[in-house]
Structure 1
């Protein structure tokens, strides 16, 4: 570990506190019925940010009715990744918790994520594949695909992740600049959004926290089934997108490592194709 990296870690540690403010960021698109159930279940935190994905139901209205203190905004482009990036920018807490609106995430697990960060991790990564974790939702096909993609990522990055494609994570807000997510203020390209705007966001985050040299700790998590509605996941199309993401992020990582730069730069849909 070089001296500059040691200094950065010491500065982050000094700025962080044992009783951090918590922001929960919830990306949602047409999740009004689910929000009626999950919002009352959330623990008391400093802030809940709902990022609406251009819903055509009463997502925002329901959220405001159920939780009057909620902060609501509309994402600038399309896709879960863009919604999360908008939420990260809007969040004011010391710690950001990524929380799905479909009812699959158990709010009772949030304290475990926070404790993991307070104890020294930069990024607390949820995992369903721990003896204390599990899933009522994942299919055999998705489980096999996740295992293959997870193994590939571990081989390329020399990591030991157990769950690559899971969206229940938490991290200190001060690492957001190092993640170098696509700028939220830039309009979509004629050919589509930026790479990282879609469901590949979990993979992008996992790759970039490693590329940035941040400390990652896994947290056991149990995934519940969606309460209402149908998932927007497309097993084969999103699986292929994640595979491309792994290779693209690794190419970027190696290129910047050779040039002596840390972290990763922004990728567009054209660069990944």
Structure 2
């Protein structure tokens, strides 16, 4: 059972999720004490829809583009003892949060959701993305002596004291930075392992998003994940490092996630 003396912040990046985010917010467990909604300039009424369900939510605008920047912004604003990162599209079940927090209560610093351990699963991941995730996961485990089963999944929870180990780009810097895109989860996973934090995995089930289309692009974002792995292991890789929203044109290798 979750220890009620802990405070919990949930960070949710949003971009045009007006039909989805109210469902997510309504399903948050009672013990969530703070919601930080980081919005990327939605034009469909996302913020208004969110506040109608959770009027106490803190709404913060992004200074740059990309999921990584959204998370960095939300983490800087979070005040809870524990912080949970969850998507706004309805694919992640908020009821699972208690499972994550139980591991933190038992001494973990960082709790990683996994679709590929017993009890986990996915209705959303394609065979191509599954194969790419498997390859990138194996490469990371080989290079960093980790034991992750699901590298590219963004449902995670951690102690707020662990955030400095992430080393994310400053949220309010003006220029685009590496780590601003979907590679952010890989960046965090590698850096918490290198910081010797206590890491555990819990099963998580990923559903199809409720409405709309994902902003993830298989080849572009898979390439960014690969570059991130190489940069973290060998220093800045001698490959193109496009902005978070830029397409990758004819790369030598395009893994999928």
TM-score by length of 2: 0.89
The answer on whether the counterparts of 1:39 and 1:67 sit within 8 Å (CA) in structure 2 is yes
Give the number of equivalent residue pairs: 237
1:114 and 2:92 are equivalent in the alignment: no
Q: What residue in structure 2 maps to residue 154 of structure 1? A: 141
Shift of 1:19: 3.1
Cα-to-partner distance string for 1:219-244 (whole Å, 9 max, x where unaligned): 11000110000011111111111001
The answer on whether the counterparts of 1:123 and 1:216 sit within 8 Å (CA) in structure 2 is yes
RMSD: 1.7
3-state DSSP class of the match of 2:146?
coil
Shift of 1:55: 1.1
Q: How is 1:167-178 mapped onto 2 (pairs within 5 angstroms)?
A: 167-178=154-165
Of Structure 1 and Structure 2, which has the larger fraction of its residues in helix?
A: 1
The answer on whether the counterparts of 1:18 and 1:118 sit within 8 Å (CA) in structure 2 is no
Q: Distance in 2 between matches of 1:38 and 1:217?
A: 24
Q: What residue in structure 2 maps to residue 101 of structure 1? A: 88
1:208 and 2:214 are equivalent in the alignment: no
**Structure having the higher Rg:** 1
Q: Distance in 2 between matches of 1:168 and 1:213?
A: 20
Q: What residue in structure 1 maps to residue 6 of structure 2? A: 20
Q: Give the alignment partner of residue 70 of structure 2, picking from 76, 83, 87.
A: 83
Cα-to-partner distance string for 1:101-149 (whole Å, 9 max, x where unaligned): 0001101100010011110111000000011100010000000000000
Q: Structure 1: where are the runs of 5+ without partners?
A: 1-16, 254-267
Shift of 1:252: 4.1
3-state DSSP class of the match of 1:92?
coil
Q: Distance in 2 between matches of 1:95 and 1:64?
A: 22
Q: Structure 2: where are the runs of 5+ without partners?
A: 244-250, 252-257
Q: What residue in structure 1 maps to residue 246 of structure 2? A: none
The answer on whether the counterparts of 1:194 and 1:269 sit within 8 Å (CA) in structure 2 is no
TM-score by length of 1: 0.84
Q: Distance in 2 between matches of 1:163 and 1:222?
A: 12
Q: Distance in 2 between matches of 1:132 and 1:196?
A: 30
Shift of 1:269: 6.0
Q: Distance in 2 between matches of 1:269 and 1:120?
A: 38
Cα-to-partner distance string for 1:33-68 (whole Å, 9 max, x where unaligned): 101222111112111110001111101111111111
Q: Give the alignment partner of residue 46 of structure 2, picking from 59, 63, 66.
A: 59
Q: Give the alignment partner of residue 233 of structure 1, picking from 216, 228, 231.
A: 216
Q: Distance in 2 between matches of 1:215 and 1:243?
A: 24
Q: Distance in 2 between matches of 1:269 and 1:19?
A: 43
Q: What residue in structure 2 maps to residue 42 of structure 1? A: 28
Structure 1: which 4+ aligned runs deviate by more than 3 Å?
Answer: none
